[in-house]
A = this chain, B = another copy of it.
Amino acid sequence: MKVFRYDSVKAEDVVAEGASKVKVRWLITKEMGAKNFAMRVFEVEPDGYTPLHKHPWEHEVFILEGEGQLFDGEKATPFKAGAVIFVQADEMHQFKNSGKKLLSFLCLIPHPKE
């Protein structure tokens, strides 16, 4: 059993084409003993965004603070703290901070299949 503050985990810059002003903290990982899925928290500064992309695994997301838009390549859906977002495998998606404060959200993913 492990109990720790989310901010005791180092925030790393997300270095990816199409990402701007985004950091990630890997909170619960396979290396820690999680057998099925991983918990990360993303922190996006004002005007920042994650890449517009898709991949063959789902996202289970909970918005912790701030406000933003979920862009699917065509339309943008606004969200704010308290929103739940489910992105299915192979759906295009991008998270943008549309507010004046930090946007932070949990994003959980299954481990890659081996």
A residues neighboring B (CB under 8 Å): 1-7, 9, 27-28, 32-37, 39, 58, 60, 62, 64, 70, 72, 77, 79, 82-89, 91, 93, 106, 108, 110
Contact = CB atoms under 8 A, between A and B. Distances in A.
A37 B2 contact: no
A65 to B, nearest CB: 11
Contacts of A89: 35
- The CB with the most chain B CB atoms within 10 A, among A6, A72, A77, is that of A6
Contact of A60 (B5, B7, B108): B108
- The CB with the most chain B CB atoms within 10 A, among A9, A58, A62, A88, is that of A62
Contacts of A62: 6, 27, 39, 62, 106
